[in-house]
């Protein structure tokens, strides 16, 4: 653990993956584990992990990347953290993100960007860029992130590692700072597929503290990763849906499809639900939920308070105006509008109906035991020196948001490189069939 902390600190100077390294807590956990008798050791015994900083770790800063929560410390452990501890993992620290998970770059947190370990002049992607960089740079073998619309899969693809977004309800959200509750799921990132499986198996399972979590038997995903097996059929997209990818990414994606074909999979091509509608539905619904969830940050109960205001409403307004970054404020305004009288049926209702139709389309791809294969990103990670407005990133989520809208599991799998940078693809499965994803990813890798 001493070595891991030292390595993490050195890596952090280069890429700023961690927001907080918990030297004392990690060493105390390690000492307690040393005293454990060997037959009591959990399946993650001694495994150093990083935890995205919107997941509560008791006693540690839990800022969600927001100046509003600059001084906030979590008073309790999230259920996933409790389960990591029970399994013997050692939490090295909290990792960087876009403010409240809103973004695809990890440049929009108040502490500044995380750099891509593969090329530190570039972004990691996001919003779980801190966890992805910590894993890809070798600070930790595994990390927890959250995936609302792609936030573990997209940075994993940009950094060349594995990540899984489980079925909605597979993992408890208790202790996660809510962004969009009907989409948020905790996801895992790792360099090794079996480690990824072990971590997911340990954190998964119903939790009385999260009514949307589901009590179902949790398979041994590491065992699934140890049993490479391809589905008989892979469903993917045709050229029309791939036009938005740059040429090297198109070639890399075709090469990935070719590998499945050579391995004996039957390849079937479908058209995606209209991407403009998917992106619009996702952002309207996510922002509507965010405007409601983030109303708790009022300057009274949590976080930053702008002192010296003459009334309660101005305290609310000024604290929020100072505490939230521009993109978060934009989304709250959009979400509040979507939910307001006169717009609710027209906009929120239409987006909900679009979600229903997209879900039906996604589920129909899984006929005959097929898995769905999609690109993750349109282009390689951009240079940090070329910032773009946050809204320009929305369309880049067109592939990853499908699993989020439909609530199905998806795994990001490294698939070589393009333009000298990591390229990743994602496989999606019907709800509760993460095991098929682990076996297919193992056979592909
Ligand atoms: N980029 C998407 C968004 O900003 C997804 C982020 C996430 O999954 N947290 O909403």
Same domain? 260 vs 288: no
**How many structural domains does the chain have?**
2
Same domain? 256 vs 292: no
**Does the structure show a pLDDT above 90 at 26?**
yes
Q: Omega into 127 within 30° of 0, i.e. cis?
A: yes
Q: Which two tokens stand for residue 298?
A: 């009022």
- Which tens digits make up the pLDDT trace of 250-283? 999 999 999 999 999 999 999 999 999 999 999 9
The predicted model gives 281-287 an average pLDDT of 98
CATH of the domain at 440: 3.90.1300.10
Select from 123, 67, 57 the least CA-distant residue to 92: 57
Same domain? 260 vs 292: no
Q: How confident is the model at residue 344 (pLDDT cuts 50, 70, 90)?
A: confident
> Phi/psi at 318 (nearest 5 deg)?
-70, -35
Same domain? 439 vs 301: no
**Does the structure show a pLDDT above 90 at 301?**
no
Q: Which strand ranges, in their side-by-side order, compose the sheet holding 233-237?
A: 18-21, 90-95, 48-52, 142-147, 185-190, 162-165, 410-418, 421-428, 371-375, 233-237, 266-270
Q: How confident is the model at residue 345 (pLDDT cuts 50, 70, 90)?
A: confident
> What whole-number percentage of the chain has pLDDT above 90?
96
**Does the structure show a pLDDT above 90 at 307?**
no
Domain holding 315, by residue range, is 278-346
Q: At what angle do helices 275-293 and 326-339 cross, to 10 degrees?
A: 100
Give the integer Cα–Cα distance in Å for 289 and 278: 16
Domain assignment present for residue 352? The answer is: no
Same domain? 226 vs 331: no
Between the CA of residue 64 and those of 134, 142, 145, 345, 363, what are the distances in Å? Answer: 17, 20, 12, 31, 33
pTM for the whole structure? 0.98
Active site residue 151: yes
Q: Residue 410 in contact with residue 153, Cβ under 8 Å?
A: yes
Q: Which two tokens stand for residue 189?
A: 């990132």
Question: Which ligand 1 atom is the nearest neighbour of the CA of 103?
Answer: 4
Same domain? 310 vs 245: no
Same domain? 160 vs 300: no
Active site residue 378: no
ipTM value greater than 0.85: yes
Same domain? 231 vs 251: yes
The predicted model gives 290-302 an average pLDDT of 93
Name the residue of 149, 288, 325 to mutate for ligand 1: max ligand atoms within 8 A of Cβ: 149
The predicted model gives 82-103 an average pLDDT of 98
Active site residue 52: yes
- Which tens digits make up the pLDDT trace of 63-85? 999 999 999 999 999 999 999 99
Q: How high does pLDDT run on average in the chain?
A: 97
Question: Which ligand 1 atom is the nearest neighbour of the CA of 179?
Answer: 9
Same domain? 129 vs 210: yes
Tell me what pLDDT residue 302 has: 83
Same domain? 174 vs 301: no
Same domain? 342 vs 393: no
Ligand 1 pocket at CB < 6 A: 101-104, 127, 146-151, 179, 286, 397
Domain assignment present for residue 185? The answer is: yes
Read off the DSSP letter of residue 392.
G
Tell me what pLDDT residue 387 has: 87
Same domain? 316 vs 441: no
């Amino acid at each position: 653990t001493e070595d891991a902390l030292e390595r993490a600190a050195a890596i952090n100077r280069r890429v700023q993956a961690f927001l907080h390294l918990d030297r004392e807590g990690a060493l105390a956990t390690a000492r307690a584990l040393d005293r454990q008798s060997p037959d009591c050791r959990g399946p993650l015994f001694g495994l150093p992990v990083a935890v995205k900083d919107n997941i509560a770790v008791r006693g540690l800063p839990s800022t969600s990347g927001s100046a509003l929560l600059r001084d906030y410390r979590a008073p309790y452990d999230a259920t996933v953290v409790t389960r990591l501890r029970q399994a013997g993992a050692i939490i090295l620290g909290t990792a960087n993100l876009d403010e409240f998970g809103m973004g695809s770059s990890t440049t929009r947190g108040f502490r500044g960007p995380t750099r891509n370990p593969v090329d530190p002049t570039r972004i990691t992607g996001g919003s779980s860029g801190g966890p992805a960089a910590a894993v890809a740079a070798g600070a930790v073998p595994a990390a927890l992130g959250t995936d609302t619309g792609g936030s573990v899969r997209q940075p994993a693809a940009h950094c060349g590692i594995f990540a899984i977004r489980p079925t909605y309800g597979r993992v408890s959200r208790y202790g996660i700072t809510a962004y969009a509750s009907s989409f948020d799921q905790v996801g895992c990132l790792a360099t090794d597929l079996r480690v990824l499986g072990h971590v997911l198996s340990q954190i998964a399972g119903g939790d009385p503290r999260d009514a949307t979590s589901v009590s179902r038997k949790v398979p041994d995903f590491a065992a699934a990763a140890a049993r490479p097996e391809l589905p008989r059929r892979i469903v993917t997209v045709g050229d029309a849906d791939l036009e938005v990818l740059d040429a090297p990414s198109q070639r890399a994606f075709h090469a990935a499809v070719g590998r499945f074909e050579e391995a004996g999979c039957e390849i079937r091509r479908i058209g995606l639900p209209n991407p403009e509608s998917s992106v619009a539905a996702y952002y309207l619904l996510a922002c509507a939920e965010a405007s409601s969830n983030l109303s708790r940050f009022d300057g009274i109960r949590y976080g930053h308070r702008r002192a010296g205001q003459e009334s309660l409403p101005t305290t609310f307004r000024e604290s929020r105006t100072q505490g939230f970054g521009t993109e978060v404020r934009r989304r709250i305004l959009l979400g509040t509008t979507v939910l307001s009288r006169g717009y609710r049926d027209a906009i929120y209702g239409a987006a909900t109906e679009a979600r229903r139709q997209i879900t039906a389309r996604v589920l129909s791809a899984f006929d005959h035991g097929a898995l769905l294969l999609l690109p993750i990103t349109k282009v390689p990670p951009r240079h940090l020196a070329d910032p773009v407005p946050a809204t320009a990133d929305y369309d880049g989520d067109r592939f990853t948001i499908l699993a989020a809208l439909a609530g199905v599991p998806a795994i990001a799998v490294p698939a070589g490189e393009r333009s000298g940078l990591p390229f990743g693809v994602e496989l999606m499965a019907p709800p509760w069939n993460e095991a098929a994803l682990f076996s297919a990813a193992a056979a592909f890798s």
